[in-house]
């Protein structure tokens, strides 16, 4: 009886069985509906959660553009390298941090101190520690061969400058972010810079790509630049300039060489310079392209242009004889370093007479002179495209000009110019008064110039400037078998309390006179040993660089 009653107690009724099955059915329907909803109808959230675990974006940056000279020689190139990072957590978990010999091997390959390496990876909470920004591919392969879990290798580029200090200021350098600072790198940064491509991919736990999803952003390689400069002339001019600066113990100097017909800058060098491939000894003052950034009072090198303003106005003639004896203006004595009692305009230029030019400038007036200087490109940028270029100053808006100010303007004081402006002005003189735009990029056609001075008077000026070299103050610039036109310049440097016993020694000229091809300017700042005159200090550099240019470009001699 007990057994039978027990069986009846545990026997399920039909109603209960239906309810149980109904619960299972409802649960099944609910789960099926839920799965259908989240996986088929609205799967976005699950996809997002899944992608967050396996889908990663990655980028590839093409190389920055090349910078070459006019013949294609590379002046700046981006070399493929690796950037090395560390996952300190993995390195600690794998006990790499306790393996002293392995750490020393890694540090040797990375060329860093082993203590520096240890300090960077000892904290296991650091997941992405930079160990080396630029590591050569050869050393990166050595590091990969160690098979160390926790080291991360990223593609990168390192900017390399094959010509080193020769072109350093002209070409410029990159900062830590890969943007150009100084020179061409800065001025044409947007054009040279590459645009990264961005893509999506599915990656496994080790970071390996298992499926490419697609491209988010198309990349673009940086543009290449071919400069107008000739590295053969750059190297020669730099070495000649560096030697002179060291010999004369000058503060600095620069050389600018321009093709008269095209306006192309064939050489632009500065000294002292720096090694753009070694930042450990970098000095910012040596990275400035002084040929376009620094301004100075040009001294006697502007006398030919001042004389042209007087001739153009019909206020002087080549045959007129001027009093060149010392005289006092506004209580200040004007005198010459090469004394003579009187002389024609040709004599005044030949012997660089300040007194003669002072008389002419007072007669002509500052307005006429400044107008001619402006026509020759002073007081304005050359539009070379270099960011650091200065426009200089002509003081054209100055309200009051004393007689002494007008007089000294005649021999290059009271205005400030750059070496590039002076070279461009002498290229205009050489081109018979036709001013052609200058270019730091190679051009493939001859520019059409603007006539800024009377062509007949400019031709006579060529003859006068030839006597400066053949008979006057510029004898050290003379070149065998070539007729050279040039002008010396020796200007005192203005300080806080007035002019100091420091000088800018300049020589500007062009060659050959029969068919001018090159205009060249040499500027030496504050020579302290030996002579400080432009003819003595800068003349020999002019002679060496111009000779090299004429021979290199096979320019036919015009003198027996």
Least confident range from 32-41, 161-170, 511-520: namely 32-41
Q: Is the peptide bond before 546 cis (omega within 30 degrees of 0)?
A: no
Beta sheet of 252-259, edge-to-edge order = 265-271, 252-259, 518-525, 498-511, 485-495
Task: Give Cα 30 to chain centroid, integer Å.
Answer: 71
For residues 538 and 476, what is the distance between their CA atoms, to the nearest angstrom? 9
Whole-number pLDDT of residue 198: 74
Asked if 327 contacts 381 with a C-beta cutoff of 8 angstroms, the reply is: no
pLDDT digits (tens, 9 = 90+) for 435-465: 999 999 999 777 789 999 999 999 999 999 9
Whole-number pLDDT of residue 350: 95
What would the mean pLDDT of 229-237 be, rounded to a whole number?
98
3-state SS of 489-514?
Answer: EEEEEEECCEEEEEEEEEEEEEECCC
Percent above pLDDT 90 for the chain? 71
328-337, 415-424, 436-445: range with highest mean pLDDT: 415-424
Domains defined for the chain, CATH in brackets: 63-226 (3.90.1310.10), 231-275+290-552 (3.40.710.10)
CA-closest candidate to residue 256, choices 156, 377, 344, 345: 377
What would the mean pLDDT of 16-32 be, rounded to a whole number?
86
Whole-number pLDDT of residue 207: 57
Whole-number average pLDDT of the chain: 90
Whole-number pLDDT of residue 1: 44
Expressed in angstroms, the distance from the first to the final Cα of the chain is 148
For 3, phi and psi rounded to 5 degrees?
-65, -40
What would the mean pLDDT of 128-135 be, rounded to a whole number?
90
Whole-number pLDDT of residue 2: 46
Query: In the predicted model, is pLDDT for residue 353 greater than 70?
Result: yes
Distant-in-sequence, close-in-space partners of 34: CB < 8 Å, separation ≥ 6? none
Residue 206: band (very low, low, confident or very high) from pLDDT cuts 50, 70, 90 = low
Whole-number pLDDT of residue 9: 53
CA-closest candidate to residue 292, choices 424, 185, 487: 424
Task: Give Cα 461 to chain centroid, integer Å.
Answer: 35
CA-closest candidate to residue 492, choices 239, 297, 214: 297
Query: Catalytic residue among 199, 273, 300, 434, which?
Result: 300
175 burial via Cβ count (<10 Å: 0-12, 13-18, 19+): exposed
Whole-number pLDDT of residue 167: 97
Query: In the predicted model, is pLDDT for residue 12 greater than 80?
Result: no
Least confident range from 25-34, 37-46, 86-95, 454-463: namely 37-46
DSSP 157-191: EEEE-TTGGGSHHHH-EE-TTS-EESHHHHHTHHH
Angle between helices 137-145 and 100-110 (to 10 degrees): 170
Percent above pLDDT 70 for the chain? 91
Whole-number pLDDT of residue 11: 62
Radius of gyration for the alpha carbons in the chain, expressed in angstroms and rounded: 37
Half-sphere exposure of 433 (CA within 13 A, CB side): 18
Whole-number pLDDT of residue 446: 75
Whole-number pLDDT of residue 60: 67
Integer CA distances (angstroms), 350 to 13, 331, 487, in order: 132, 28, 8
Pairing of strands 485-495, 342-344: unpaired
What would the mean pLDDT of 334-357 be, rounded to a whole number?
92
Q: Is 300 a catalytic residue?
A: yes
- Reported as type and span, the H/E element at residue 152 is strand 151-160
- Strands (DSSP E) contained in 17-141 are 55-60, 67-68, 74-86, 129-135
- Reported as type and span, the H/E element at residue 140 is helix 137-145
Query: In the predicted model, is pLDDT for residue 213 greater than 80?
Result: no
For 154, phi and psi rounded to 5 degrees?
-115, 145
Higher model confidence: residue 320 or residue 281? Answer: 320
Strand partners, 264: 439
Whole-number pLDDT of residue 448: 85
CA-closest candidate to residue 544, choices 461, 478, 468: 478
Residue 155: band (very low, low, confident or very high) from pLDDT cuts 50, 70, 90 = confident
What would the mean pLDDT of 322-341 be, rounded to a whole number?
91
């Amino acid at each position: 009886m007990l057994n039978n009653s027990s069986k009846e107690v545990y026997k399920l009724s039909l109603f209960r069985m239906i309810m149980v099955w109904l619960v299972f059915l409802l649960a099944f329907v609910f789960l099926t509906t839920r799965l259908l909803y989240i996986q088929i109808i609205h799967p976005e959230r699950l996809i997002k959660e899944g992608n967050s675990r396996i889908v990663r974006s990655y980028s590839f940056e093409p190389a920055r553009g090349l910078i070459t000279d006019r013949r294609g020689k590379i002046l700046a190139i981006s070399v493929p390298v690796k950037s090395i990072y560390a996952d300190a957590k993995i390195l600690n978990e794998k006990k790499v941090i306790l393996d002293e010999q392995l750490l020393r091997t890694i540090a040797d390959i990375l060329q860093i101190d082993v203590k520096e390496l240890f300090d960077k990876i000892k904290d296991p909470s650091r997941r992405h520690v930079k160990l080396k920004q630029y590591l050569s591919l050869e050393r990166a392969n050595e590091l990969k061969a160690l098979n160390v879990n926790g080291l991360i290798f990223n593609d990168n580029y390192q900017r390399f400058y094959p010509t080193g200090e020769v072109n350093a200021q002209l070409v410029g350098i990159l900062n830590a972010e890969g943007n150009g600072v100084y020179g061409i790198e800065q001025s044409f940064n947007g054009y040279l810079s590459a645009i990264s491509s961005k893509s999506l991919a599915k990656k496994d736990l080790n970071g390996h790509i298992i499926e490419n999803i697609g491209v988010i952003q198309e990349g673009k390689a940086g543009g290449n630049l071919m400069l107008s400069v000739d590295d053969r002339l750059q190297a020669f001019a730099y070495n000649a300039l560096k030697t002179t600066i060291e010999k004369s113990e000058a503060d600095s100097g620069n050389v600018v060489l321009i093709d008269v017909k095209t306006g192309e800058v064939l050489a632009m060098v500065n000294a002292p310079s720096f090694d753009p491939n070694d930042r450990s000894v970098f000095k910012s003052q040596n990275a400035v392209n002084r040929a376009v950034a620094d301004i100075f009072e040009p001294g006697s090198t502007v006398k030919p242009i001042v004389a042209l303003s007087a001739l153009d106005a019909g206020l002087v003639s080549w045959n007129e004889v001027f009093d060149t004896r010392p005289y006092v203006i506004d209580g200040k004595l004007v005198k010459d370093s090469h004394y003579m009692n009187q002389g024609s305009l040709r004599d005044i230029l030949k012997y660089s007479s300040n007194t003669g030019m002072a008389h002419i400038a007072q007669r002509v007036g500052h307005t006429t002179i400044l107008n001619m200087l402006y026509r020759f490109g002073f007081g304005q940028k050359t539009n070379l495209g270099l960011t650091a270029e200065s426009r200089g100053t002509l003081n054209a808006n100055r309200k009051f000009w004393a007689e002494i100010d007008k007089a000294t303007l005649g021999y290059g004081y009271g205005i400030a110019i750059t070496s590039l402006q002076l070279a461009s002005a002498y290229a205009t003189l050489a081109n018979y008064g036709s001013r052609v735009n200058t270019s730091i990029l190679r051009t493939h056609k001859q520019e059409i110039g603007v006539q800024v001075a009377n062509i007949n008077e400019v031709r006579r000026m060529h003859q006068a400037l030839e006597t400066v070299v053949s008979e006057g103050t510029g004898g050290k610039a003379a070149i065998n078998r070539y007729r050279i036109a040039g002008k010396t310049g020796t200007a005192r440097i203005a300080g806080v309390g007035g002019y100091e016993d420091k000088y800018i020694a300049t020589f500007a000229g062009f060659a050959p006179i029969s068919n001018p091809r090159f205009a060249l300017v040499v500027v030496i700042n504050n020579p302290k040993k030996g002579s400080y005159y432009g003819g003595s200090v800068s003349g020999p550099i002019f002679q060496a660089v111009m000779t090299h240019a004429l021979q290199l470009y096979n320019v036919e001699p015009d003198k027996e």
